[in-house]
Amino acid sequence: MSKRPAMLRGLTALTLLSLVGCMNKPLRPVEPDGTYCFRVSKSRHQTCTVEAVPSLDAEHRAKRFLPSADALTVYVVRHRWADAANQVAFKVDAGPSVLTIPESVVALRLRPGSHRLSLTWDGVEVDHVIEGKAGDVQFVQLVGSVLAWRSSYRWETGRDDDTRQLALKAKLIADIRVQ
């Protein structure tokens, strides 16, 4: 029995595995003022956060997705192919707005209980209710669909594993504790 076919299969597998790492585009660097900008492909148009983003250390900690003993942790993930370059704001309950950009994630630490996530786009208010207890970790997607003739945004919950993978590819733009 020849060792050549086994060696070729091994080299092919190694080559494919090395290419998988190249499939995820690296995140852009943070701007000198601490903000983060998203750019579609190589276009000049970019969409930036208004405030400085958390540090790289804070991002690594948040993306471990560990529960908080005293809070309900919710990750709002915005990472879909049909989303363009819009800034979209949402609120938790009646709190201040949190501005999102494409391919971003926001970590929220909330009081245990029920909370309303609310966004308004094109005059339409879209709400999503989340409920949980201290120590729970949940994922919610802010899904954008931007086409030449219209755009819309909605809330969606799906499989946590899938949304977690999208969050890992996105930039942490805010880590907020709501009291």
Position 21 confidence tier, pLDDT thresholds 50, 70, 90? very low
Answer yes or no: is pLDDT of 32 > 70. Answer: yes
Instruction: Determine contact, residues 63/139, Cβ cutoff 8 Å.
Output: no
Please give the model's pTM, rounded to 2 decimal places: 0.82
H-type alpha helices, the chain: 4-23, 56-62, 160-169
pLDDT digit string, tens, across residues 125-141:
999 999 999 999 999 99
Output the pLDDT for position 9: 56
- Residues paired with residue 48 on neighbouring β-strands, in sequence order: 37
Mean local confidence (pLDDT), 17-45:
71
As a whole number of angstroms, the distance between CA 167 and CA 106 comes to: 9
Q: Domain residue spans in the chain?
A: 27-177
- Residues paired with residue 75 on neighbouring β-strands, in sequence order: 107, 139
Position 145 confidence tier, pLDDT thresholds 50, 70, 90? confident
Q: What share of the chain is helix, strand, coil (3-state, %, to 5)?
A: 20, 40, 40
39-48, 63-72, 86-95, 154-163: least confident range: 39-48
Output the pLDDT for position 20: 42
Position 7 confidence tier, pLDDT thresholds 50, 70, 90? low
Which residues neighbour 6 within 8 Å (Cβ) at sequence distance 6 or greater? none
Mean pLDDT of the chain: 86
In the chain, count H helices and then E strands.
3, 11
**Residue among 147, 143, 138, 146 nearest 108 (CA):** 138
Position 149 confidence tier, pLDDT thresholds 50, 70, 90? confident
Mean local confidence (pLDDT), 23-51:
81
pLDDT digit string, tens, across residues 67-113:
999 999 999 999 987 787 789 999 999 899 999 999 999 999 999 99
Answer yes or no: is pLDDT of 26 > 80. Answer: no
Output the pLDDT for position 101: 95
As a whole number of angstroms, the distance between CA 32 and CA 110 comes to: 31
**Residue among 54, 94, 57, 76 nearest 153 (CA):** 76
